[in-house]
Amino acid sequence: MNRFILKHKYLVTFVILAVLAWAAYRRFLVGGSAFITLVVVAAIVWGLGTFAFIYLWPLVTYTGFKVMIAKGVDANTSSGIPINTLYAVPTLPAPSVSPSILTTGTHELLYVVGWLDLSKGSLVLHVPDFSGRYYSIQFSSPLDGSAFAYVGKRTTGTKAGDYLVTAPNWEGQVPTGVTRISSPSKSVFIIGRVLVESDSELPSAYESARAIRLTPLSAWNPAH
């Protein structure tokens, strides 16, 4: 539902306003006092609804993502995906798959998902050399639904690299050769996408996706 609303936000807004305008017009025909009452109620409902949608909807949506990850995203993860780990889905989503966090309108992507709890400490994300293959790792804050960082072909290139994901107000030393990603919240939702251009590329793309890993900073060894 949230995907539909965000995609057709102008249409949804117009329909809501049209319904309110029609209801106000009908009330106006009944009497002025009823009309004023309706306008006041409509303004309050509209204001509260806007506030709830903007500030509470992302939290509700990402709570659903967290529950889905905790329960598992496929048959291989029926016991759930542990916090601060990443899981690479081994198969491409079928066209018949219902909309979820693993569908974005294309069926040529392998997905990597995970939920981070930075209160347990900073994490080092390692990505392998993708040799020019398109991939993207998106970091999102459950507080407002914003994507605050990306690692991938369009932003950091496709060579191997290490990225330190830190909590707000983290104070420490970033290891040499590592790029810091500062999160605005202690919880982070990660979704990665790896392009698969043909069936013959699936094995190599999956191996690259599996090589994306997280390691606690306290246990990280630069000699991979």
Residue 94: give its domain's CATH number: 2.60.40.1610
125 shares its domain with 159: yes
pLDDT greater than 80 at residue 50: no
Same structural domain for residues 100 and 150? Answer: yes
Identify the top-confidence range among 6-20, 21-35, 150-164: 150-164
* Residue 158 domain-assigned (yes or no): yes
- For residue 1, the model assigns a pLDDT of 44
Domain annotation covers residue 106: yes
Residues 102 and 20 in one domain: no
Are the CB atoms for 139 and 147 separated by under 8 Å?
yes
Is the residue at 224 inside a domain? no
Same domain? For 39 and 85 the reply is: no
pLDDT at 98 exceeding the cut of 50: no
- Are residues 94 and 15 both part of a single domain? no
Q: Is the pLDDT of residue 4 over 70?
A: no
Percent of the chain with pLDDT over 90: 47
The winner for highest mean pLDDT among 51-55, 107-111, 153-157, 197-201 is 153-157
Candidates 73, 91, 90; CA nearest to 82 is: 73
Q: Give the pLDDT mean for 151-163.
A: 96
What's the rounded Cα separation, in Å, for the pair 63 and 189? 10
Q: Are 124 and 215 in contact (CB under 8 A)?
A: yes
Specify the pTM: 0.72
User: Which residue range forms the structural domain that includes residue 189?
Assistant: 75-219
pLDDT at 80: 86
Residue 6 shares a structural domain with residue 95? no
Give the number of domains in the chain.
2
Residues 6 and 46 in one domain: yes
Q: For residues 91 and 65, which has the higher predicted lDDT (pLDDT)? A: 91
DSSP 103: -
- Are residues 90 and 187 located together in one domain of the fold? yes
**Residue 12: inside a domain, yes or no?**
yes
62: in domain: no
197, 201, 207, 208 alpha-carbon torsion, rounded to 10°: -40
Residue 199 forms part of a structural domain: yes
pLDDT (mean) for 68-86: 83
Looking at the structure, tell me whether residues 113 and 18 fall in a common domain.
no
Q: Is residue 64 part of a domain?
A: no
Does one domain contain both 124 and 32? no
Any domain includes 198 = yes
pLDDT classification of 188: cutoffs 50, 70, 90 = very high
Same domain? 93 vs 39: no
Identify the pLDDT of residue 13: 63
Contact 132, 147 (CB under 8 A): no
Nearest-angstrom CA–CA distance, 49 and 57: 10
